[in-house]
C-alpha cells in the first residue's frame, strides 16, 4: 500500500477543492460550511486546502472541536500559534485585550462586563479585529474541523462572524457532520449568511480510482467492485477496507495487479463495529484495558493521563498505546501526538462496552484522576469536564455535581454563559442536598449576567418556595437591582437573612435610591460603607456608590468624595467593575461641572483593559459630551462616529442613537447638513426615549438657522427644542436650555421669562446652564444701568472650561450691547476656531466682521502659530512674524530684509501691533512674547 493510515489521496473532490481554495485565496471572507457524513473526507479536504493556501502565501490557522473540550476550543487552537501576546500591544487590539484572554490564556484577563452586552458579540468583535491584525497586508484563512462537536458559545461566535467577516477577505471554513442530529446552536449557524460546500459520497468511478491510489497499482475488476460496493462512497471506508484486505491476505499483488486470494470479507459499513472489536480483541488484556480507558477519556486529552486513569505505569501504557497504533486503532500525527484513527473507532469501542463495564471503568478512572489532587485544584478545562463525566458514569453524582459547578464557573469566567448553563443543567440533575443550593445560585447569577432576569427568578423562586435560602434570595435580589426591578428586589431582600448584613444593606440602599427615597438610602448605606473592614469590599463599594449618587445635587463635594473612596477601595481589592462604576460617576460630575472629563477617559481605559466593552462604549459617549463643549461639535463628531459604529456592532441601540445625535450636531457645524436628517431619523428609531431625539432635531434646526444668519427662524426652533424637554419628566439638563435663554434674552431683554424659567428649573445642575444664567443676568443688569461685570466674570469662570459653548453664547450676546465692542469678541472666537474644522462658526464670525466694516483676518494666515490671547486681539500671522523678530531685538530695516518686506510695511505692522496690544513701545511689545 502506498497511503499511510489516515492519509488517503484526494480523489473526486475537484469541484469542492476549487471552491474552498478560491474562498481561501481570493474570496470576500465570511463563513463557509463543509457538511458531510462521517468518513466522507472532510478533514482530508481541509488538509489539501491548507497546503495549497500555504503554498500561495496565505497564513493558515487550524483548529478542531472535540466533545467536552469546553467553550471556544477550536477557535483557541486555531489562534494559539498566531496570536502572540506581543500583539496585545497593537492599538487596534487595545479594547479587546482582556476579551481575547477568554480564548488565549497567555493574554491578560479582565473583569465581567456588567453592561447588557452579549459576550458572544464582544468576543466576535475581538476575534474579527484580531484576525485583521494577524492578516496584516496579506490574507489569513481559518480552518475548523468537526464543528458538530463545538459548544453552543463557539457556534454563536461563528454565527456572528459569518456576517462580521463578510467583505473583509478573511474566510473561516468549518467542517461538520451531516449524518447525525445537529447540536443545539448549529441550526442558527446554518441559517446565517454562510456559503455551503456539500461533501457527498464518491461515485463508483471515483471510489474505484481511490482504491487504486490507496493500494498503489492496478486493481482487478472484482476487487474494485467489492471495495466500491462495501465502502458505499465513503473515502475513509475505501481506505480502511483496502488496508483490511491486504492485512488479512484477502488480496495479493500478482503481476502488478491486486487480485482476490479467496472469498472477500463482509462489506465494511455493516461490519465496522465488528472490525474495531476484532482489532481490540486481538490485543492482550492489559492493552485492551488501556485502550478502553483511553476511549473513556475522550479525543483531546493529554495522553500522560492514560497511565494514571488505567492504573498502570507510564512505560506499560506507552507499550499498550504503541500496539494500538499497530492495530490501526490510533495514529501518530505529524507532531507525534496520538489520536484515534477516526472518531468512529472511539464511538465503536465505547458502544461495545456494556453499561456495567462502562460504569466500573469510569469509576476507577475518575478516582485515579481525582486523586491526582484530592482537593481538585489541578483539575481544569477539558480534564475537569471529563472527570465530572466519569464521576457521573461511575455512579458518583454528588461529586460529579461539585465538579460540574466548578466547570460552570470556569465557563462563566470565560464569557461563555450558554456553555455554563448547559453544564449547570447537568449539575442540577445530579446534585444532592449538599450542592443543590450552590448550583441554583450559580444558575441565577449566570442567567442574570445574560439579562434573563425572568428565568433567574423562575429558577430561584422554585427553590425558595421549598425552603428559605438567604444566599439564593440575595442573588435573586441582586439580579433584580441590576435590571431596575426594585419592587421585586425589596421583596427578595426581606428573605435574604440578617438585615444588618452589609451585602443586604447595600442592596437595600440601592433599592431605596432607585425608588426615589434618598434619605432612606443614605441611612442604609452609611454602615455598609465600612464593610471593607469586615471583609466585604463589594458591599462597601456599592454603598459608597449609593451615597455619592444621593448627594450628587445637594452636596457635590461629599458626592465626589464618596465616589473617590469607592474607586480607591475597588482598586485596592481588585474589583474592576466597581472601580469603573465609581470613576464613571466621578466623570458624570465632570460632565455636568467644569472638569475636563479625565475620570471618564480613565474609566473607559480601565473598562477597555478589563474587556468591559459595553461599559467602555457608554463612558466614551459621555466623554464625547464633554468634548463637544471643549473641542467643538465638529471635532467631537469623530469619536462620536467611532462610538456609534462600536455600539451598533455590540447591539447597544440606545448608545448608538446617542452617538449619532452628536454626529448629527457635528455635521451641522461642519456644513454637511444634507447628512443630518438621516442620522437623526436612525437615532430616533434606536432611542428608548424619542423625546431627546426630537429635541436634538429641533436644536439642529436652530443651530442651522442661526449659522445661516436667519435669527427669526432660529428662535422658534430653540423654543421647540426646550419645550420638548420641558414636557418630559426627568429629561437630561442639556445646554440647550441655557443657549435658548441667552439668545432670547439678548434679542428681547425686556422679557424675563426665559431667564427666570432657567433660574427656577433643576437644569442648573449643568454648569453650562448656570453660566448661561449669569449671562442673562448680565444683560438684565445692563438694562437696569447696573454693572454687568460681576455676572460676566462669573459666567466666564463657569464657561471657560467649555470654550465652544462660551464662544457660542458670547456670539448670541452680540445681539445686545452688554459685551461692548463686538470686534474683539469675534476675533477671540476666530482665534479659538483657527486650526479647527468649525467651518460655519468661523464663516459666521467673518461675515459679522465684514458687516461691521472691521478687518477680517485672511484665512491662510490663520495657519501661522499665533497665541490665542494675541489672535483674540486681532494679531495676524504676518504681524506675529514681525513681533517675534522685534522680540529678537531686530530693528525695522533688519526685519524688512529678513521677511523681504518694504520698510514702510514693517512700520505699519509694528504700529498695528502697538495699537492692538496697547503696548507703549517696542520694549513692552517684547514682554508680550514672554510665556
pLDDT digits (tens, 9 = 90+) for 465-522: 766 678 778 888 877 777 677 888 888 888 877 888 888 888 889 888 887 788 888 8
770 within some domain: no
pLDDT digits (tens, 9 = 90+) for 399-451: 888 888 888 887 777 667 777 888 888 788 777 777 777 888 788 777 776 66
Domain total of the chain: 6
The pLDDT of residue 334 is 64
pLDDT band at 650 (very low <50, low <70, confident <90, very high): confident
322 within some domain: yes
Q: How far is CA 271 from the centre of its chain?
A: 50
* CATH number for the domain harbouring residue 893: 1.10.10.10
User: How far apart, in Å, are the Cα atoms of 77 and each of 106, 187, 453?
Assistant: 13, 23, 34
315 shares its domain with 428? no
464 within some domain: yes
Say if residue 72's pLDDT is above 80.
Answer: yes
85 shares its domain with 110? yes
320 shares its domain with 397? no
How many angstroms separate the CA atoms of 818 and 58, rounded?
Answer: 70
The pLDDT of residue 298 is 66
622 within some domain: yes
Structural domain ending residue among the three candidates 239, 265, 291? 265
Say if residue 823's pLDDT is above 70.
Answer: yes
The pLDDT of residue 466 is 66
Altogether, the residues listed in the chain come to a count of 931
559 shares its domain with 597? no
30 shares its domain with 122? yes
User: How far apart, in Å, are the Cα atoms of 101 and each of 86, 116, 416?
Assistant: 13, 20, 13
Domain limits for position 256: 204-265
Whole-number average pLDDT of the chain: 82
438 shares its domain with 487? yes
User: How far apart, in Å, are the Cα atoms of 686 and each of 40, 485, 652, 691, 700?
Assistant: 47, 23, 9, 12, 18
403 shares its domain with 298? no
Say if residue 771's pLDDT is above 90.
Answer: yes
Structural domain ending residue among the three candidates 265, 297, 315? 265
413 shares its domain with 562? yes
- All 3 cell numbers of residue 114? 456588567
pLDDT band at 711 (very low <50, low <70, confident <90, very high): very high
Structural domain ending residue among the three candidates 593, 628, 663? 628
883 within some domain: yes
Q: Which of 59-63, 553-557, 889-893 is predicted most confidently? A: 59-63
Residues above pLDDT 90, as percent of the chain: 26
How many angstroms separate the CA atoms of 445 and 450, rounded?
Answer: 9
852 within some domain: no
pLDDT digits (tens, 9 = 90+) for 141-151: 999 998 888 88
94 shares its domain with 106? yes
Question: Which of 356, 365, 368, 410 has its CA nearest to residue 390?
Answer: 365
Positive or negative torsion for Cα 66, 105, 424, 152: negative
How many angstroms separate the CA atoms of 397 and 68, rounded?
Answer: 18
How many angstroms separate the CA atoms of 415 and 571, rounded?
Answer: 22
95 shares its domain with 113? yes
Around 639, how many Cα atoms within 13 Å sit in the side-chain half-sphere?
19
- All 3 cell numbers of residue 113? 462586563
277 shares its domain with 296? yes
CB atoms within 10 A of CB 380: 13
When pLDDT is averaged across residues 268-288 and rounded to a whole number, the result is: 71
The pLDDT of residue 862 is 47
721 within some domain: no
pLDDT band at 363 (very low <50, low <70, confident <90, very high): confident
130 within some domain: yes
145 shares its domain with 229? no
pLDDT digits (tens, 9 = 90+) for 215-239: 888 899 988 998 888 777 888 888 8
Amino acid at each position: 500500500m502506498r497511503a499511510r493510515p489516515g492519509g488517503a489521496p484526494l480523489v473526486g473532490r475537484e469541484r469542492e477543492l476549487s471552491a474552498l481554495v478560491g474562498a481561501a485565496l481570493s474570496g470576500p471572507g465570511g463563513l463557509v460550511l463543509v457538511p458531510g457524513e462521517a468518513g466522507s473526507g472532510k478533514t482530508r479536504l481541509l488538509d489539501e486546502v491548507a497546503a495549497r493556501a500555504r503554498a500561495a502565501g496565505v497564513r493558515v490557522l487550524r483548529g478542531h472541536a472535540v466533545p467536552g473540550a469546553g467553550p471556544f476550543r477550536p477557535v483557541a487552537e486555531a489562534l494559539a500559534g498566531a496570536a502572540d501576546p506581543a500583539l496585545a500591544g497593537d492599538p487596534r487590539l487595545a479594547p479587546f485585550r482582556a476579551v481575547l484572554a477568554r480564548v488565549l490564556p497567555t493574554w491578560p484577563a479582565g473583569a465581567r462586563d456588567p453592561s447588557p452586552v452579549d459576550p458572544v458579540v464582544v468576543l466576535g468583535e475581538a476575534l474579527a479585529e484580531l484576525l485583521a491584525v494577524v492578516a496584516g497586508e496579506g490574507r489569513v484563512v481559518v480552518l475548523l474541523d468537526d464543528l458538530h462537536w463545538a459548544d453552543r458559545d463557539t457556534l454563536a461566535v461563528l454565527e456572528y462572524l459569518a456576517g462580521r467577516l463578510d467583505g473583509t477577505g478573511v474566510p473561516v471554513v468549518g467542517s461538520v457532520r451531516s449524518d447525525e442530529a445537529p447540536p443545539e446552536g448549529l441550526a442558527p449557524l446554518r441559517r446565517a449568511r454562510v456559503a455551503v460546500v456539500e461533501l457527498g459520497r464518491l461515485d463508483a468511478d471515483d471510489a474505484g480510482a481511490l482504491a487504486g491510489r490507496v493500494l498503489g497499482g492496478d486493481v482487478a475488476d472484482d476487487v474494485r467492485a467489492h471495495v466500491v460496493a462495501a465502502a458505499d462512497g465513503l473515502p475513509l471506508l475505501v481506505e480502511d477496507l483496502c488496508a483490511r484486505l491486504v492485512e488479512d491476505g484477502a488480496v495479493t499483488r500478482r503481476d502488478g495487479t491486486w487480485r482476490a486470494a479467496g472469498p472477500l470479507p463482509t462489506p465494511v459499513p455493516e461490519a465496522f463495529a465488528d472490525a474495531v472489536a476484532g482489532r481490540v480483541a486481538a490485543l492482550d488484556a492489559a492493552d485492551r484495558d488501556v485502550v478502553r480507558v483511553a476511549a473513556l477519556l475522550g479525543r483531546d486529552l493529554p495522553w500522560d493521563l492514560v497511565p494514571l486513569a488505567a492504573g498502570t505505569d507510564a512505560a506499560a501504557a506507552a507499550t499498550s498505546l504503541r500496539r494500538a497504533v499497530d492495530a490501526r486503532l490510533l495514529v501518530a500525527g505529524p507532531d507525534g501526538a496520538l489520536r484515534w484513527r477516526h472518531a468512529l473507532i472511539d464511538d465503536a469501542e465505547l458502544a461495545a462496552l456494556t453499561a456495567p463495564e462502562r460504569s466500573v471503568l469510569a469509576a476507577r478512572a475518575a478516582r485515579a484522576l481525582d486523586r491526582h489532587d484530592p482537593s481538585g485544584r489541578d483539575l481544569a478545562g477539558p480534564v475537569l469536564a471529563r472527570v465530572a463525566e466519569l464521576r457521573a458514569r461511575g455512579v458518583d453524582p454528588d461529586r460529579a455535581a461539585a465538579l460540574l459547578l466548578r466547570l460552570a464557573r470556569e465557563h462563566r469566567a470565560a464569557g461563555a454563559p450558554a456553555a455554563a448553563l448547559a453544564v449547570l443543567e447537568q449539575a442540577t440533575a445530579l446534585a444532592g442536598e449538599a450542592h443543590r443550593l450552590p448550583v441554583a445560585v450559580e444558575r441565577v447569577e449566570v442567567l442574570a449576567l445574560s439579562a434573563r432576569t425572568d428565568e433567574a427568578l423562575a429558577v430561584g423562586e422554585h427553590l425558595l418556595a421549598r425552603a428559605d435560602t438567604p444566599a439564593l434570595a440575595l442573588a435573586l435580589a441582586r439580579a433584580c437591582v441590576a435590571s431596575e426591578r426594585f419592587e421585586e428586589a425589596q421583596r427578595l431582600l426581606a428573605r435574604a437573612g440578617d438585615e444588618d448584613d452589609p451585602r443586604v444593606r447595600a442592596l437595600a440602599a440601592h433599592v431605596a435610591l432607585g425608588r426615589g427615597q434618598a434619605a432612606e438610602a443614605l441611612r442604609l448605606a452609611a454602615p455598609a460603607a465600612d464593610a471593607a473592614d469586615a471583609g466585604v469590599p463589594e458591599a462597601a463599594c456599592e454603598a459608597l456608590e449609593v451615597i455619592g449618587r444621593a448627594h450628587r445635587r445637594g452636596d457635590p463635594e461629599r458626592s465626589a468624595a464618596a465616589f473617590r473612596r469607592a474607586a480607591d477601595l475597588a482598586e485596592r481589592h481588585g474589583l474592576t467593575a466597581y472601580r469603573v462604576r465609581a470613576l464613571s460617576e466621578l466623570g458624570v460630575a465632570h460632565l455636568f461641572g467644569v472638569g475636563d472629563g479625565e475620570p471618564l477617559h480613565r474609566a473607559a481605559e480601565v473598562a477597555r483593559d478589563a474587556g468591559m466593552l459595553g461599559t467602555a462604549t457608554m463612558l466614551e459617549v459621555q466623554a464625547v459630551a464633554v468634548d463637544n463643549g471643549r473641542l467643538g461639535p465638529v471635532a467631537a463628531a469623530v469619536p462620536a462616529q467611532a462610538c456609534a459604529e462600536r455600539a451598533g456592532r455590540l447591539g447597544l441601540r440606545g448608545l448608538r442613537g446617542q452617538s449619532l445625535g452628536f454626529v448629527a450636531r457635528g455635521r451641522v457645524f461642519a456644513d454637511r447638513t444634507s447628512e443630518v436628517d438621516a442620522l437623526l431619523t436612525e437615532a430616533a428609531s434606536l432611542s428608548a426615549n424619542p423625546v431627546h431625539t426630537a429635541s436634538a432635531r429641533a436644536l439642529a434646526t436652530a443651530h442651522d438657522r442661526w449659522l445661516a444668519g436667519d435669527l427669526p427662524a432660529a428662535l422658534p426652533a430653540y423654543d421647540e427644542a426646550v419645550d420638548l424637554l420641558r414636557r418630559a419628566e426627568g429629561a437630561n439638563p442639556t445646554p440647550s436650555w441655557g443657549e435658548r435663554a441667552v439668545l432670547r434674552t439678548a434679542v428681547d431683554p425686556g422679557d424675563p421669562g426665559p431667564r427666570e424659567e432657567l433660574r427656577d428649573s433643576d437644569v442648573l445642575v449643568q454648569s453650562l446652564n448656570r453660566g448661561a444664567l449669569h449671562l442673562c443676568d448680565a444683560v438684565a443688569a445692563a438694562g437696569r444701568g447696573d454693572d454687568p461685570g460681576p455676572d460676566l466674570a462669573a459666567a466666564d469662570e463657569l464657561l471657560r472650561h467649555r470654550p465652544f459653548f462660551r464662544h457660542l453664547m458670547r456670539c448670541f450676546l452680540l445681539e445686545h450691547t452688554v459685551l461692548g465692542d463686538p470686534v474683539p469678541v469675534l476675533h477671540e472666537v476666530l482665534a479659538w476656531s483657527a486650526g479647527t474644522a468649525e467651518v460655519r462658526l468661523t464663516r459666521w464670525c467673518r461675515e459679522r466682521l465684514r458687516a461691521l466694516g472691521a478687518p477680517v483676518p485672511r484665512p491662510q494666515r490663520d495657519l501661522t502659530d499665533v497665541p490665542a490671547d494675541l489672535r483674540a486681539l486681532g494679531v495676524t500671522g504676518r504681524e506675529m512674524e514681525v513681533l517675534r523678530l522685534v522680540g529678537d531685538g531686530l530693528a525695522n530695516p533688519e526685519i524688512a530684509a529678513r521677511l523681504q518686506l518694504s520698510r514702510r510695511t514693517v512700520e505699519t505692522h509694528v504700529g498695528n501691533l502697538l495699537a492692538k496690544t496697547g503696548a507703549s513701545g517696542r520694549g513692552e511689545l517684547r514682554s508680550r512674547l514672554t510665556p
